[in-house]
Amino acid sequence: MCGDLKNKVALVTGGTGGIGTAICARLSDLGCRVATTYRNREKAEAWQAQMKQSGHQVTIYACDVGDYEACVQLAETIEKDLGPVDILVNNAGITRDTTLKKMTPGHWREVICADLDSVFNMTQPLLPRMAERGWGRVINISSINGQKGQFGQANYSAAKAGMHGFTMAAAQEVARKGVTVNTISPGYIATEMVMAVPEEVREKIIAQIPVGRLGRPEEVAHVVAFLASEHAGFITGANFAANGGQHMH
């Protein structure tokens, strides 16, 4: 399954994190030429070396995905280095959690810029090129908290909900051009960030998940691989919840 991705060029923003790493590895395993973005060069180079050791070749590029001009330049650079981008996974994101009462305009703007503006900044230069070539995949990594909201995450929940609104609108613009645009909304996944939470807090989270465990980054990566494949050509504007049944609607 999904073997039709050989030699496709895939760009995964923010690929050096837990879910991003799994997505990069899965797409690499399927024969894609994978690129990802980073902010911290030292961390990214160490990550790249680890990926290479595990048999995954990923090209890394410095880019602030909150900066439109930087994203336009990145699209040009990747096209020269690897070829036109066929698959875009908008995965980059940050949190600045606090209650709305304590949230500053800076907390709000940072998250909207990194998590939502970045989706426009990266998709807008690439989507017309995909449409011109008659094939493309855009996959936006949202969150369960964009669906149900979360205490202390008005900024993050708004950005992640906005991401799916963007998906539905953009999907309609390119549906006849062989390009699909979809969202994946993971629940609580066993990334380093989640595993760093105190055990008693993790246990409370797990108690709210019907399947009785955290998700694995690889499980999100498998959904990405399916949506990127020819098998998913009739699916567009959709939101795939991968949350263990924690939020159903």
CATH no. for residue 95?
3.40.50.720
156 in active site: yes
Q: Is 64 helix (H, G, I), strand (E, B) or coil?
A: coil
- Please indicate, yes or no, if residue 23 is contained in any of the structural domains: yes
Q: If we measure between CA atoms, which residue out of 106, 109, 113 comes closest to residue 66?
A: 113
- Please indicate, yes or no, if residue 249 is contained in any of the structural domains: no
pTM above 0.85, yes or no: yes
Dihedral sign (CA 156, 98, 100, 241): positive
The boundaries of the domain holding residue 214 are 3-241
Structural contact between residues 168 and 224, judged by C-beta atoms closer than 8 angstroms: no
Q: Which regions of the chain does DSSP assign to beta strands (E)? A: 9-12, 33-38, 58-62, 87-90, 136-141, 179-186, 239-242
pLDDT tens track for 203-232: 999 999 999 999 999 999 999 999 999 999
- Please indicate, yes or no, if residue 203 is contained in any of the structural domains: yes
Number of domains in the chain: 1
pLDDT at 1 over 70: no
- Please indicate, yes or no, if residue 102 is contained in any of the structural domains: yes
- Please indicate, yes or no, if residue 248 is contained in any of the structural domains: no
pLDDT tens track for 18-40: 999 999 999 999 999 999 999 99
- Please indicate, yes or no, if residue 10 is contained in any of the structural domains: yes
Average of pLDDT values for 239-245? 98
- Please indicate, yes or no, if residue 246 is contained in any of the structural domains: no
- Please indicate, yes or no, if residue 247 is contained in any of the structural domains: no
Structural contact between residues 80 and 128, judged by C-beta atoms closer than 8 angstroms: no
The gap from C-alpha 112 to its chain's centroid, in whole angstroms, comes to 15
Structure tokens at 61: 């590029």
Percent helix, strand, coil in the chain, to 5, is 50, 15, 35
Which is catalytic among the residues 38, 61, 68, 156?
A: 156
d(CA 85, CA 67): 19
